[in-house]
Structure 1
Amino acid sequence: MTQVVDVTAFGADSSGVKDSTPAVVDAIAHARNLGGPVRLLFPRGIYQFYPEQAIEREFYISNTVGADQSHRHKRFAFLLEDLADLTVDGDGSTFQLHGLLGLFAVVRSERVTISNFAFDHSAPKVVDVTVAETGPAYRVLSVPPGNPYLVGDDQLTFLGETSPATGTPYWRHSTDELWYCQIHDPVAQRIWRGDNPLFTGVARLTDLGDHRIRVDYLSELTTEDQGLVYQLREPTRDTAAGFIWESSQVTVTNLKAGYLHGFGIVGQLSTDITVADNEFHADRSIGRSTAAFADILQMSGVRGTVTITGNLFDGAHDDPINVHGTYLEVVDVAGDRVGLQYMHPETAGFPQFHPGDLVEFVDKLTLAGAGQATVVAVDGPTGTDSSKPLTTMTITLDRAVPETVESGAYVVENVSYTPSVRIAGNTFRNIPTRGVLLTTRGPSVIEHNVFDQLSMASIYVSADAHQWYESGPVRDLVVRGNQFLRPATPVIWFDPTNQVEGEPVHRGVLIEDNEFQLAGDGEVLRAKSVGGLVFTGNRVVGGEPAYSITGCTDVTVE
């Protein structure tokens, strides 16, 4: 029998006036002590969440800030640790988040569902600036009402909202610090990365009130960008909006996400994750178009199954879906022990292996496997403190390291954490990057999705041991029944980083029954180092398709 824990019984305020954070902390603590399934219920209403009374934890999260100690402490509205059989049921409520606060963390837990609410941030760290008016030597800019700013001495500074605890803004950035820029055309429904011209050659800044700023320029030219939205941010991914770590059977469903702060939802060294029937979409009625500070979903080292179905991905600042493992570079070899290092600065601080995991050595130049072994012991970072080095670790294996393996020339992948994946029935639009990045040897299907005018490849399959160090090879992939509307080309791209051709890196790829609506001639498929590639029964309209096949074997294109 499911027990219901009503958060309002612990003091949560469904009227949206008071901070509900401490009440929810108490309600979660109570739920942890109950036996059997628990439904953590938020009776329909509006709930405010501030960071000051949220529980603080030291966490290290893949693809964020790596070992940077200035951001090691994280706070979440819901910190779900060491729990089982819990459902967070929003009952159709709205959650308003404040400050630098993540939405949820699921840590060392199992059978957890987060469902049925809308949420947004009051003052996102991405500032969506709309060009409301242009004329000779000036623009009038419109800023969403939730983003405070200061104009003084012809300088513009954007602020976070003011903390009720300290009386100071949660963050403050000048326009020079907000150097990362994307441009959104709301008429064409397209977003791309580009330079920010709004504050170059400025003669004068004037606050017109009502969230409007006039910018006068030294040049007399009239710009042609009226109506465009410049999405401005500084690039620090200080936390994740959702964090799933060392957990199993976690489901995120029926959420309406207005903005994901810091990073998206990260699944890290976990098992069986489902993300279904959510809307990741900013509130356009208040001038916002950014729904995520970076990626929306990042599955970094997951095993079992990853199921992503029926979602709307609209307005990210990076890839909506990225499923991958992590290559660690070999830095020391001694018998059955091997020293490893995280190579990309955004990923560090957490253990990448457990005793009993199967690992594979991989040649960096060819990406060919050089033998597998089972982990017996691990000595390295814990993921919850900095008591040990954060970028290196040592694993002990059940056999000697292969003689061919040398420091700096090989990487290691955790083969045990390579999931089967199903990505189906999703819509991708207003995306500046790729739609789906996928590198896993588990059987995977990408089917019946709509990719609408993405600015890079709609589907990208790499295996990268040189830049991002995101592993690994594809072994069984079906791309079927998708619509690619007005795509950038190549539309589907297999791009492993092997620098020496040898055996194919990826194997077993079927691309069938898709529709490609090209805006002109272009590459429908670009494939490098794929064995067993079949492209059949697809429909291409609007342009002359091209195909680039390099270093592949057993290829059928018809």
Structure 2
Amino acid sequence: MKKLFLTAFILAFQSAQAETINVADHGILPGTDVSQKVNELLASLKGKADITLVFPKGTYEFYPENAVEIYRAVTNHDNGPKRIAFPVFGYEDFTLEGSGSTFMFHGRMSPIVVEGSSGVILQNFSIDWETPFHHELKVLERNEADNSFVAEISPMKYGFEIKDQKLFFNHYDWQDEIGQNVAFDPKTNAPLWDTQLYQLRGKQAKATKLGENTVSLKNATKVPPPVGAVICTYGNAPTNRLAQAIHLDRTKNTRIENVTVYAAGGMALIAERSENIELDKVIVTSTDERTLATRADATHFLRCKGLVDVRNCRFEHMADDGINVHGVYIKINEYKGNRTFLCEINHRQQLGLIFAEAGDKVAITSRETVLPIYETTVEKVEIHDESLLSITVAEVPDDLPAGLLSMENLSWYPDLVFKNNVIRDNRARSALISTKGKVLVEDNVFSSQMHGILIEGDNNSWYESGGVRDITIQNNVFENIGYGKGSGYPLYISPLLREEQRLGDEKYHRNIRFRNNRLKSFNGLLVHGLSVEGLEITGNIVTKDSLYPKWSELPAIDLNYCEDITIEGNRFEGFDFPIRAAISEDTEEVKFVENPGIER
């Protein structure tokens, strides 16, 4: 009886502590700049738990001038001072309830930053910018004879300028030259077939203003783009990834539900060193009057752990990938003795990341073979600056191996469930998965310009670590993967190696199952694999589709330096060119049976 009474008392006490706040009671109203008032309200709630902040439905404006400014290191973006609308720092059980509202941003702002918080729920709102971070050039006329075209430019609020025949785009308080760009097809809402033919070349382009929002461009592309095409240009690094929409940093148990992101000067969601993240009915898409949504990935998870659970989401019209889940390699510059290594963060858009803390399990790895050599535990980390750090570990091998070395954090790899989602009409890939956790990719629809699912890992470019250990990819639909130029595979598995790097004695990836997927394909491609142990390709049905030109030079299944392979019960239907499997002599233990329509 006492126990029941105590339980009831605790529940009643917890309920009494919960607080729901209507922001209208604090003068936060639609149609006005609410940046400062939201900052002040959040600051006043510091130290409280179980808070629900309710925005009555409306459009709330956020301008950078009155928002708090904090220097932020944001992985896969450019570091610097960020103007933040919702700085959710150090909260427990905090809910941001949008009630269907639109949060409308102006200029370079970071809408939502959640740091060092647990139990945060973000739900029922959309994020947009009055003017996005890119400009769109709709082709009105083309002239092959002099390699020129006429285009209409939008948005026009801040206009554009031509200086010495160079085109500049005006934004809120900055100006961009022609930068990174991609051409979209209005008929498919996806990047054009062989879109690189129509990539704007800023240095060669000669611009002439024809009207208030029309311009003629000569020698701007290899060939003039087709009439109706929309070229989206979004500036150059390092200034075109400064304003992600949502940033999760050292969070635990975060849920994002019924949230739509229409634009961002970076990724829609970037999460780092966070544990347990749920996404349900999150949409990344463009508005009706725009072609492009976010400047970069829809979602990106770096050095996370626990479970990343993504369901019922739709990611489309991004200028980069749909989802990317991975770890990171850092260089070992020097062994200082006393079990201490001087290390360096490699990529400029990873500077300032928290690589490890005491108690984390790490691996010393070869930078030549990208394979692990020795596992140990971190005892101490000393940060010298954004790129240099010293790491003291519990044990080191008696004889450190010769050659260039790296370090990989083994404690921060999540499990991933990616189920019932749609990724389509974006530049780049649908999904990049390089986590050592258990992965299920099921009941999704993928249609991307490059590879569908890329399982990579590299120690030379983005330094994205993670030889996979347990991945099941099943019951998905792949539609015309690789329409960028025709060479994209629905599943592409391979470490990314420089010329001076080499494959090691062990395989980099392990235990990958690609089962019972349905593929509409113009090129007949299925799986490419390099350095994989334990690969199952079974029960997949590939049907010929004629939306894009056929591509018949690559093998449908291409395996090199693999072992323990099962290829069984796959079927290719309707292809009018040879479908073949190329399996190298150094690929061992191959079972290849009952695969109608493909020859070995």
Q: Structure 1 length normalisation: TM-score?
A: 0.89
Amino acid at match of 1:143: I
- Note if 1:394 corresponds to 2:398: no
Is the partner of 1:125 in helix, strand or coil? coil
User: Aligned pairs, how many?
Assistant: 523
CA deviation string 1:40-98 (max 9, x = no partner)? 11111110001112111121111122xxxxx4211221110010100101100111100
The alpha carbon displacement at 1:369 in A equals 1.7
Say if 1:31 and 1:40, in contact at 8 Å, map to a contact too: no
Q: Which has the higher contact order (CA 8 A, sep 6+)?
A: 1
Does the 8 Å CA contact 1:19/1:50 hold for their aligned counterparts? yes
| Compared CA separation, residues 226 and 389, structure 1 to 2 (3 A) | same
Distance 1:480 1:493 in 2: 15
When residues 201 and 344 of structure 1 are mapped into structure 2, their CA distance, relative to the original with a 3 A threshold, is closer
Counterpart contact for 1:322–1:437, Cα < 8 Å: yes
CA distance in 2, matches of 1:415, 1:199: 44
**Residues 1:157 and 2:168 aligned together:** yes
Pairing 1:260–2:268 present: no
Q: Give every structure 1 segment of 4 or more consecutive aligned residues whose post-TM-superposition deviation is greater than 3 Å.
A: 132-140, 150-156, 197-204, 216-219, 221-224
Q: Secondary structure at the match of 2:349?
A: coil
Query: Within 5 Å, which residues of 2 pair with 1:187-336?
Result: 187-191=187-191, 194=196, 195-196=199-200, 202=206, 204-207=208-211, 209=212, 212-215=213-216, 223=224, 225-235=226-236, 236=238, 237-284=241-288, 286=289, 288-333=290-335, 334-336=337-339
1:19 alignment partner in structure 2: 33
Per-residue CA deviation, residues 411-466 of structure 1 (Å, 9 max, x unaligned), is 111111011011111111111211110111100011111112x1111000111112
**Residue by residue, what CA displacement relative to the aligned partner does 1:358-386 show, whole Å, maximum 9, x if unpaired?**
10111222232211111111001xxxxxx
* Residues 483, 8 of structure 1: alpha-carbon distance in 2 compared, 3 angstrom cutoff: same
Q: Which aligned pairs between 1:349-368 and structure 2 lie closer than 5 A?
A: 349-368=352-371
Give the structure with higher Rg (CA): 2
In the alignment, the residues of structure 2 paired with residue 103 and residue 231 of structure 1 have an alpha-carbon distance, to the nearest angstrom, of 23
Mapped contact 1:335–1:400 kept (Cα < 8 A): no
RMSD, aligned CA: 2.3
* Structure 2 CA distance for aligned equivalents of residues 218 and 180 of structure 1: 16
Report if the CA contact (8 A) 1:254-1:278 is conserved.
yes
* Counterpart check, 1:98 vs 2:106: yes
Matched residue, 1:167: none
| Residues 341 and 391 in structure 2, CA contact (< 8 A), matched pair in contact too | yes
- Once residues 265 and 426 of structure 2 are traced to their aligned partners in structure 1, the CA distance between those partners, rounded to angstroms, is 17
Paired amino acid for 2:339: D
Maintained 8 Å contact 2:529/2:558: yes
Amino acid at match of 1:150: F
Residue 540 of structure 1 aligns with an amino acid whose one-letter code is V
Matched with 1:411 is: 406
Cα distance in 2, alignment partners of residues 269 and 109 from structure 1: 12
SS at match of 1:359: strand
Give the secondary structure class of the aligned counterpart of 2:399: coil
Paired-residue identity, %: 25
Which amino acid in structure 2 is aligned with residue 416 of structure 1? S
Which residue number in structure 2 is paired with residue 469 of structure 1? 463
Match in the other structure for 1:338? 341
Instruction: Provide the residue aligned with 1:383 in structure 2.
Output: none
Contact 2:422 2:446 in 1 (8 A): yes
> 1:377, 1:218 → 2: CA distance?
56
The one-letter amino acid of 2:366's match is D
Using the alignment, how far apart are the partners of 1:464 and 1:269 within structure 2?
19
By how many angstroms is 1:31 displaced? 2.9
Contact 2:166 2:207 in 1 (8 A): no
- Structure 1 position 517, deviation (Å): 1.0
Q: Is the 8 A contact 2:458 2:496 kept in 1?
A: yes
Gaps of 5+ in 1: 66-70, 162-169, 381-387
Residue 214 of structure 2 aligns with an amino acid whose one-letter code is I
Is the 2:503–2:531 contact (alpha carbons within 8 Å) kept by the matching residues of 1? no
Report if the CA contact (8 A) 1:61-1:347 is conserved: yes
- What's the secondary structure of 1:416's corresponding residue? coil
Give the secondary structure class of the aligned counterpart of 2:100: strand
**Structure 2: distance between partners of 1:222 and 1:493:** 30
Q: Which runs of 5+ in 2 are unaligned?
A: 1-14, 483-487, 546-551, 569-600
- The SS at the match of 1:90 is strand
Write the distance in 1 (CA, Å) between the matches of 2:108 and 2:207.
34
TM-score, L = length of structure 2: 0.83
Rate the CA distance shift 1:185–1:198 in 2: closer, same or farther, 3 A. Answer: farther
1:430 is paired with a residue whose SS is: strand
Counterpart of 1:143 (choices 142, 153, 159) is 153
Q: Which residue of structure 2 lines up, in the alignment, with residue 429 of structure 1?
A: 424
The alpha-carbon deviation at position 147 of structure 1 amounts to 4.6
Amino acid at match of 2:45: A
